[in-house]
Amino acid sequence: MSAVALPWVEKYRPKKVDDVSHQTEVVASLRKSIENKSLPHLIFYGPPGTGKTSTILACARELFGADYKSRVMELNASDERGIAVVRTKIKAFAQLAVSSKGESGSAAATDAPPYKLIVLDEADSMTTDAQSALRRTMETYSRVTRFCIICNYISRLIPPIASRCAKFRFKPLPHAAMSERLNTIVTAEGVSLSSEALTELMRLSEGDMRRAIQMLQSLHQLHGSSIDTQAVRDVSGTLPDSLVSRIFTVCRSSSFDQMQALVADVLADGYPAAQLAAQMLDALITDSSATSLQKSKIAVQLAEVDKSLIDGADEYLQLTNLLAFTMRQLAARK
């Protein structure tokens, strides 16, 4: 694939551990492991888009050099999550011994460490049986194979796996770190992005660098080299503040017909129901006209609707239910 056709998330993926943004403790620890050529089993956990996969792949490139492709196996455990994959594909790769002199024959490979690396992405999706089999494989072949387990929630991994690994938490990226990386990309691609648009892009991506870069590339393709704040809001699917205010105004009107028409309009305009619920919560927190009791009851209902939407419930029914509940609560005596 040519550099032109590459998605920006791949084009600007860190090539070295030191290029990773913000995760200073992880970078410092891995830097020592690279220097000593001694890598323990690892667990990287934290929110999406914070650099977990990029960091371990950059580390592997520095460790193995020219032998990277033959020494590293990357699996997405959410696709291959069953016990059969652990017993066949992972075990077959883990049990193969390697030479410390490398396999490529190049001078750069002569100092390669005498082990391989298996990277399991989204490992918190693996079944309990698969994790138990993985624990046994890790134990048996630890001399010739290291594992890096990547997940969003470490609590979903069984304790025997967690206890065998060095654990590193990846934090959501602060605005300063995101701004630095995004400005680098903007300069390299010749994009004109105002400071207000950059701030809005970082706010909407919520510390997820991958999401921010994908949005930036989409904006570049849609709007060319000049991007403003409204364009950022449009591509993110964010509801206008005026529409969110109108939702609460209609809920206070106690008119079910108006509310039903508003739900139909919102969905006809293509706005995601989950996005509406998230913005309603933000607006509710700062609403001085509602009592704490009203806010708490509506917030619980927002959480239940969000869960239902994730589980695949009908958006029209869920939004109608949410706004009807909000209408009843706001109509109650304060």
Q: What pLDDT, on the 0 to 100 scale, is given for residue 2?
A: 44
Q: How far apart are the first and last CA of the chain?
A: 62
Q: What pLDDT, on the 0 to 100 scale, is given for residue 101?
A: 56
In CATH terms, 8-169 corresponds, of 3.40.50.970, 3.40.190.10, 3.40.50.300, 3.10.20.740, to: 3.40.50.300
Phi and psi, residue 241, nearest 5°: -60, -35
Walking along the chain (334 residues) 10 residues at a time, the average pLDDT comes out as 69 85 83 86 90 90 86 76 74 75 50 85 85 88 90 90 90 86 89 86 86 89 83 82 90 89 90 89 87 92 92 91 92 66
Give the residue among 281, 277, 287 at the shortest CA–CA distance from 334.
287
Q: What pLDDT, on the 0 to 100 scale, is given for residue 78?
A: 62
Classify domain 175-236 by CATH number. Answer: 1.10.8.60
In CATH terms, 241-331 corresponds, of 2.40.170.20, 1.20.272.10, 3.40.50.620, 1.10.3720.10, to: 1.20.272.10
Distances (CA, A) of 194 to 189, 197, 216, 266: 15, 5, 12, 29
Give the residue among 8, 38, 194 at the shortest CA–CA distance from 115.
38
Helix-, strand-, coil-residue percentages of the chain, each rounded to 5: 60, 10, 30
Task: Report the C-alpha gap between 28 and 285 in whole angstroms.
Answer: 39
Domain ranges of the chain: 8-169, 175-236, 241-331
